[in-house]
Amino acid sequence: MTSRERLLAALRGEPTDHVPVWLLFPYHPTGYYVDVRHHPAYRPVAETARKMAITLNRRHFRVAMHTPDVRWEHSESGGVKRSLLRCGSSCLTQEQEQGRIKKLLDTDEDLEAWLSLPLNLDERAICAELETQRAHYEDERREFPLDDGAMMLDLGEPVAPIYHASNLESYAIWSLTHADKIRAFLDRLMVQKRIVYRWCLEHKLADVYFLVGSELASPPLVSRTIFQQWVVPYARELIDLIHRHGALAIQHYHGQIREILDDFAVMAPDGLHTIEAPPIGNCSFTQAYAALGDRITLIGNIQYDEFRSSTPARMAEAVREVLAECRGRRLILSPSAGPFDADPPPRLIENYMAFLQTAWATRWERAK
């Protein structure tokens, strides 16, 4: 099998010749990971991964959330970076100074003002924004070696903007005091998300879609009831839309996942990244399979810090332990995160190599 065949089979719950391994290395540069293809220290790993791992080339399309009359103003003075969000007489402020961050949304008044801002819901304008980004994306798609895996689009979920704009203590309180108003905002923003996802799907731009939002409104930060209101219905609708167009969906979630696994079954992605065992998380693969059966391909779960601190022998042992625990089940082996280290220590590279080589050499049978 090629890496692409192995990836698609794994996400569909079909047998593979080797356990699929995903290092989270994109093919083209991103703002949050090291450009491993062009970094000399990572070159041995990147070259080995061409044979022994799958590549999901994570890319983005972005459109303005608000209408043009909502505008940002940025300034810096006296070591303080300040951003103002203005619309008419309304003005919201966020600041950053030597590690001190004042979020855009801090008080109830901030939230009320932000929720009232006009959203960009004009389908023609949204599609025009997307079209301006398409040529660059198509260039990257042509450059990507298709046998290595698949293009993967990360288009966001409705809950992400309010999470990232908020003081998290206030955000947790608002889940109790302003839950319905936030739900109404999410309903409005979902209009835009439908347009963006549908445009990408109708143009057949990617085989896989990556949903990053479920971890942003989940226990213990907010209640499971809020998770079921602010995340589940929107993700379920988007995943259903993705499936109706013949594409596949992976959901990303860091955190205490065990008590909400049933909700992921409702959302019904093809893959779920990442299942984290104690002490970092609260769910082993065995517990996740007990809850989900073989409905979803589980992805994980060796912690990124283990790649920094473990020995190659211990890393090889950890890989074999995961494969033994998951034998016969739907699995993509993966680190929990990374690659973040711009100046990687030799041990990190050694552990990536041990991870790849051990997985490739270990006999793997995904049950039919």
User: What amino acid is encoded at 351 in this protein?
Assistant: N
Tens digits of residue pLDDT in 116-133: 999 999 999 999 999 999
The pLDDT of residue 201 is 98
159 falls within a domain: yes
87 falls within a domain: no
- Residue 81 pLDDT > 60: yes
The pLDDT of residue 363 is 87
Q: How many domains does the chain have?
A: 1
Dist CA 356 CA 301 (whole Å): 14
Dist CA 127 CA 113 (whole Å): 27
Tens digits of residue pLDDT in 140-199: 999 999 999 999 999 999 999 999 999 999 999 999 999 999 999 999 999 999 999 999
Q: What's the predicted TM-score (pTM) here?
A: 0.96
92 falls within a domain: no
State mean pLDDT over 194-212: 98
90 falls within a domain: no
30 falls within a domain: yes
Burial of residue 77, with CB atoms counted within 10 A of its CB: 0-12 exposed, 13-18 middle, 19 or more buried: exposed
CATH number at residue 197: 3.20.20.210
pLDDT-based confidence at residue 364 (cuts at 50, 70, 90):
confident
222: Cβ contacts below 8 Å, ≥ 6 apart: 171, 172, 175, 230
Which residue range is the domain that position 37 belongs to? 3-65+119-361
β-pair type (80-87, 90-97): antiparallel
291 falls within a domain: yes
